[in-house]
Structure 1
Amino acid sequence: MDPYDSDSSTDEDFAETNVLLGYAADEVIEDTISHLGGWPKWLDESTPPPGEFANCQVCNSPMLLLLELHGDLPEHFSNNERRLYIFGCPRKPCNRKPGSIRAYRATRKVHLENPQPSKQQEKPAEKKPVPEPAPAPAPAPPKPKQDLGASLFGATSLTGSVSANANPFSSKPGGSLSGANPFATPQSTTPAPAPKPALSQSETNALAESFADKVRLSTPGVENSIVPSAITKQTPESASTPKLWPAQSEFPAPYQNFFLDAEYETMSRASTPTIPDNVQMEPMDEDGGAGSADLKDTFESELDKAFMKFSTRLAHNPEQVLRYEYRGAPLLYSYADQVGKRLHPEGTAAKVTTTGRGSIPRCEYCGSERVFECQLTPHAISVLEDGREGVGLGKDDSGMEWGTIILGVCAKDCAPETMNVTGWREEWAGVQWEEMK
């Protein structure tokens, strides 16, 4: 009998990690917010980003949306609603230049609705009860707003946090997903939405087709305006007349919209052997012997070692377009480029650092450390550019050339202190470009 029967494999043959993987989906599964490509949908439609955020810093032309991510983290920032965005310039001359890919975070502080009692409050009183006159019946608490995710997609609804913990990024529930899609739409904790005027037919057609495009949740009676000098980085000249976000007609044709499904990463235990960090990879001479490694050979050796680890890890789940682990460590495409040297400094062996000296730059708004939150993988390029030949910029629309885009965010999630006011922050996008062969 064969020593190995492929039909007899069990869950013990696989290991689950803390990394949440995102997969592209043509249709809405549960989350109506997170998506690749398409048009962005703002956390507050009345407060779009500053107009300067729309443009590539190389050619000063409008960029295209690569990723929009529902980013509520109830366990870390219980009063904050968060949204993450990555934009990229599709023009060939801007490839491989700093500022051609930019990342943003929108954050809004809100009041908690129906906060959960603490465990101590839930325990019965141990003291002997004292008879008291029957109190008047208390008014019934207001019913929580309907959980759109639960009503439409069967998502579990929780209360007591900004997002009802439906966001997959807050924690790893019980070590597995228990069959529920972690990208479920969150329960809103803002006051009941006020009716808004219907969109015109032309505006409706221009929006991506999802439930979130048809239902606009906003806070009535609150001035959701940005104070440029306090919220965005502005020059004295631009502070007086902030530039508005451009109309859709000013942007190139967007990438196709794909929603996101998610599962925690699983890896086969019988995987391809990894390369120990203390192994030196040296080029071979033509006669088969080990040659002396000059500077170029050393660079290529480090590149090969990092790339082999990168590609081997992705091969376990090749359809992934997104890797997410808040305060985790990114998977580096290279150790030898500027980003690799910053996050994988010499002498740290396998350790990748994302906080502290010499790692991700600090937040320019509050001075706090930044931490890793997510990264895009090369398969996202294949998904976004499928069928895009001849669309948009013609010969200048040459395709994306990055290996991975790493997003680092403010560890304190800095935002305006005023409730229900949306603040915009530019975050750190660490781009590791494909190596030229």
Structure 2
Amino acid sequence: MDPYDSDSSLDEDFTETGVLLGYAAEEVIEDTISHLGGWPKWLDDKTPPPGDYANCKVCNSAMLLLLELHGDLPDHFPTDERRLYLFGCPRKPCNRKPGSIRAYRSIRKVTLESIQEQCKQVKEKETEPEPKPSAPPKPKTDLGASLFGATSLTSSVSANSNPFSNPFSSNPAPAASDANPFAMPKPATTTPAPSTISTNALAESFADKVRLSSPGPANPSAATKPKPESQAQAPWPAQSDFPAPYTNFYLDAEYETMSRPSTPTIPENVTMEPMDEEGQSSGTAELKDTFESEIDKAFMKFSTRLAHNPEQVLRYEYRGSPLLYNYADQIGKRLHPEHSAGHVTTTGGGNMPPCEYCGSGRVFEMQLTPHAISVLEEGRPGVGLGEGEGGMEWGTIILGVCSKDCGPETIGQVGWREEWAGVQWEEMK
């Protein structure tokens, strides 16, 4: 039985954790932004990423979109619009090389006053005139284009607090202020509302259902690099410069539920002796060493955990802990406490490198699982990639983000930050 922390017991045979799992869906469930494959969409079409963000750092050729994720965190950063992107080089020679998979965060800050004013304007537009002055005005049914197509356009925001919410749930989701008992109370003026920058800012996000904690302290000693918006940048390449994209899949989600395996009982009058290859009994310590040398503990825990929900393509838990594919590789040594010599500096981030732009510590936000490869590469044997190319070989991609959600200081300006993508590759056979 793999160890895990449970948040609440569903019954004696199942438990639900705080990890939100994403599943690939061919049709839109609720979230029209988050998706695997396909072409990326930007917060502002006039402000795409810097052109060099499109290229693999190994071969300098255009990469393909693996994931775009709606990343608003209203309980953490109520005035921030944010999206997350993972790109990967589809060329086989670049596999297993640093820089062949890159991660980005798009960020735009707005003021609480502008949110409140925009909310007021939308409410006025969405209220039908009442022919009888004596009767109280009736609010018009919300038909606004929100992230899920079902978000309220009133100042109280839709109760749907999960961008990958389960559409089959019979219980309505709680309001954002109630969805997360660990979240800090939000002022009344922080309620997100539709804006000219994006009606998708209405949608509440993953943070309303996952554990939250205070942002980690900045690292004043960390070297910082210039912000992309302060420098002249090459334009984002034309779509024709990219290989054919992976098939677009939208995302559905629900919280991780795991069964509790029954533990077999051994009669008191029975003893068990381990046996060697020749059928002879051997010492328990020797058997344990042999077993651990043949089956990596990290991979066993990783695969056992995923087996509870084998079709998951994404694991999301802002400021949570990643599920490591390997303890002994470079990423495992960084993030696993037993292998990082105690250098765990940031809550939820292990020993991730600090943000290169502001020096703050990074925290874990999400990771892709191996099933995402099966989904993305299904029916795509090297299409448009060239001879000898295609075939992803990673075990998991871990995304670490700036704990301060740093971005442009100018209100309304879209900024781009490259974030940390910790790639654990498949074991060589």
Aligned position for 1:142: 121
Aligned position for 2:194: 189
Change over 3 Å in CA distance of 1:258–1:363 after alignment to 2: same
1:253 correspondence with 2:258: no
8 Å contact from structure 2 (residues 84, 104) kept in 1: yes
Distance in 2, Cα, partners of 1:192 & 1:404: 33
Distance in 2, Cα, partners of 1:415 & 1:111: 14
Deviation at 1:29, TM superposition (A): 1.0
Higher alpha-carbon deviation: 106-115 or 397-406: 106-115
Amino acid at match of 1:268: S
1:37 correspondence with 2:37: yes
Aligned position for 1:75: 75
Aligned position for 1:399: 391
Aligned position for 2:362: 370
> Which of residues 145, 148, 155 in structure 2 aligns to 1:159?
155
8 Å contact from structure 2 (residues 306, 312) kept in 1: yes
Distance in 2, Cα, partners of 1:330 & 1:80: 24
> Which of residues 377, 396, 411 in structure 1 aligns to 2:403?
411
Amino acid at match of 1:143: V
Aligned position for 2:96: 96
Aligned position for 2:376: 384
Aligned position for 2:418: 426
Aligned position for 2:212: none
Deviation at 1:380, TM superposition (A): 0.3
Q: Deviations over 1:356-399 (max 9, x none)?
A: 99701000000000000000000000000000014111333231
Aligned position for 1:26: 26
Distance in 2, Cα, partners of 1:102 & 1:259: 21
Aligned position for 1:360: 352
Amino acid at match of 1:264: Y
Aligned position for 1:58: 58
Distance in 1, Cα, partners of 2:407 & 2:112: 17
Give runs of aligned pairs for residues 122-141 of structure 1, distance below 5 A. Answer: 141=120
Deviation at 1:101, TM superposition (A): 0.2
Q: How many pairs were matched up? A: 346
> Normalised by the size of structure 2, how large is the TM-score?
0.70
Amino acid at match of 1:17: T
Aligned position for 1:5: none
Aligned position for 1:112: 112
Give runs of aligned pairs for residues 164-313 of structure 1, distance below 5 A. Answer: 168=162, 178=171, 189-191=194-196, 230-232=226-228, 239=231, 241-270=232-261, 287=278, 300=293, 304-313=296-305
Amino acid at match of 1:190: S
Q: Deviations over 1:173-224 (max 9, x none)?
A: 9xx9946699xxx97532388xxxxxxxxxxxxxxxxx99xxxxxxxxxxxx
Distance in 2, Cα, partners of 1:246 & 1:177: 45
Change over 3 Å in CA distance of 1:290–1:335 after alignment to 2: farther
Q: Deviations over 1:29-59 (max 9, x none)?
A: 1110000000000011110000010000000
Change over 3 Å in CA distance of 1:432–1:262 after alignment to 2: same
Q: Deviations over 1:134-171 (max 9, x none)?
A: xxxxxx9533476635697444556368xx6856379x
Higher alpha-carbon deviation: 58-67 or 107-116: 107-116
Distance in 2, Cα, partners of 1:370 & 1:165: 30
Amino acid at match of 2:144: L
> Which of residues 408, 416, 436 in structure 1 aligns to 2:428?
436
Change over 3 Å in CA distance of 1:259–1:188 after alignment to 2: farther
Distance in 2, Cα, partners of 1:367 & 1:43: 25
Alignment RMSD, CA only?
A: 4.0
8 Å contact from structure 1 (residues 320, 377) kept in 2: yes
Give runs of aligned pairs for residues 315-326 of structure 1, distance below 5 A. Answer: 315-326=307-318
Distance in 2, Cα, partners of 1:93 & 1:353: 35
Alignment partner of 2:357: what SS?
coil
* Gap runs ≥5 in structure 2: 1-9, 126-141, 176-190, 201-224, 265-274
Alignment partner of 1:53: what SS?
helix
Q: Deviations over 1:243-274 (max 9, x none)?
A: 1110000001000000000101111122689x
Change over 3 Å in CA distance of 1:299–1:16 after alignment to 2: closer
Change over 3 Å in CA distance of 1:417–1:148 after alignment to 2: same
Distance in 1, Cα, partners of 2:263 & 2:248: 34
Deviation at 1:287, TM superposition (A): 4.7
8 Å contact from structure 2 (residues 37, 245) kept in 1: yes
Q: Deviations over 1:311-333 (max 9, x none)?
A: 11101111100000000000000
Change over 3 Å in CA distance of 1:427–1:152 after alignment to 2: closer
Alignment partner of 1:314: what SS?
helix
Change over 3 Å in CA distance of 1:291–1:13 after alignment to 2: closer
Distance in 2, Cα, partners of 1:351 & 1:14: 35
